[in-house]
Chains A and B, each alone.
Chain A
């Protein structure tokens, strides 16, 4: 097992490679990539392309080509979620809700190309998983209890997939309902989504948190997308496939 922990984008990334070998070069490439994405998209860095666009110093067309790529993906997810995900914040373009998942999915693809078939890239609790944790054993992903982060509420098995959670963080309520412009207040404490690719799954988790309980009905006809919602009372609400993927263990 080769593990790398990297601080970037205001959170912490864990890269875990389960194949034998010396992965130092591949990991260095991934770390460089994550910092490049941060330098381009950060809303906290005055010299980032996004901040320059906000100040009117740069057009999307003249920005780094990946800005257009990410905004296109934002538009698609906005459509998929009926507008519950949006990259327009206060009238300004802000793809923050999608960019980390996109960066992680690309990082995972980089590791696959380098020959690491079994690996995880987890950025602050949102992850793309490739292969298995051990030969014959899928990745076991625990989701934290939003009311007590030391506790695990549910453990699911994932092979070649993505998991993302949105919700109330240690910083409080920061997810804004794009329809009201106000922080989400629908009784949910967290929303976790699983699916194939983290670009969409991460943005879907944000959208599901904004939707509230109707997210279950939204997810049900979408093949391969499963949802676990936890409300402020600690009650769980999940799509049918979530339960199928859940590992039986004595978790409360």
Chain B
């Protein structure tokens, strides 16, 4: 079942990344690479959050070395069963691989995932790979449903 989750999570991520990946043009202004801040905190007691900041220096690097494959590891998206983290490989401006590198393994999650029937990659979605999609609108999902949502994969990609 663990394998099934991994496969499913990867499938969701790759589908959305195909939809969402954008190439970043070379930046005219050099941004100090040390400017990344992950220090955002609500100050409250809610631990279910994640913040990512992606600076231009990183984006620039990925385009100037476009012949080589680059990997990005998204921020952890916390679910009630634990964090999910996706690693993406980009080569020549296209996502060539996406896999969940951190994912929950509890039996409860297995049931949860199965009950949502994790979406499968399909040819229609692949054909939409030229579209830059920034946000997803759909009937409101629950906190648990978010894990399998297209929005979740967009957020994890941090692109």
Contacts and interface: CB of A to CB of B under 8 A. Distances in A.
B42 A35 contact: yes
A27 B158 CA distance: 16
A171 B144 CA distance: 11
Contact of A125 (B48, B140, B148): B140
B37 A125 contact: no
A151 B78 contact: no
Nearest to A4: B51
A120 B53 CA distance: 15
Most-contacted residue by chain B among A5, A127, A169 (CB, 10 A): A5
A8 B45 CA distance: 12
B98 interface: no
A252 interface: yes
B158 to A, nearest CB: 6
Interface in A120-163: 120, 122-127, 129, 133-134, 137, 139-144, 146, 148-152, 155, 163
A149 B16 CA distance: 11
A245 interface: no
Contacts of A6: 42, 46, 48-49
Contacts of B95: none
A166 interface: yes
Nearest to B45: A35
Given A27-B51, A28-B40, A144 B131 contact: no
A127 B134 CA distance: 12
A14 B19 CA distance: 18
Contacts of A133: 132, 134
A10 B142 contact: yes
Interface string A4-25: 1111101110101000101110
Contact of A142 (B43, B77, B116, B133): B133
A31 interface: yes
Q: Is the interface of B mostly helix, strand, loop or mixed?
A: loop
Contact of B42 (A10, A28, A150, A163): A28
Contact of A141 (B44, B136, B142, B159): B136
A100 B141 CA distance: 13
B131 A249 contact: yes
A1 interface: yes
Interface stretch (B61-69, B85-93, B102-110, B149-157): B149-157
Interface in A13-51: 14, 16, 20, 22-24, 27-28, 31-32, 35
B158 A149 contact: no
A199 to B, nearest CB: 16
B31 A125 contact: no
Report, as a range, how many residues of chain B touch the other chain.
35 or more
B30 to A, nearest CB: 12
Given A24-B41, A190-B139, 19 more contacts: A1-B159, A2-B53, A5-B50, A5-B155, A7-B48, A12-B143, A14-B135, A22-B35, A27-B51, A28-B40, A28-B43, A126-B137, A129-B135, A140-B131, A140-B132, A148-B119, A150-B125, A165-B137, A250-B130
Interface of A: 1-8, 10-12, 14, 16, 20, 22-24, 27-28, 31-32, 35, 100, 120, 122-127, 129, 133-134, 137, 139-144, 146, 148-152, 155, 163-171, 190, 192, 247, 249-252
29 contacts: A2-B51, A3-B53, A3-B158, A4-B40, A4-B49, A5-B155, A11-B141, A12-B151, A14-B155, A16-B134, A23-B40, A27-B51, A28-B42, A28-B43, A32-B42, A125-B136, A125-B138, A133-B132, A140-B133, A141-B134, A142-B131, A144-B137, A144-B139, A151-B119, A166-B139, A169-B141, A190-B139, A249-B131, A250-B128
Give 7 nearest A-B pairs by CB, closest first. A150-B119, A144-B138, A7-B48, A124-B140, A24-B40, A167-B139, A12-B146
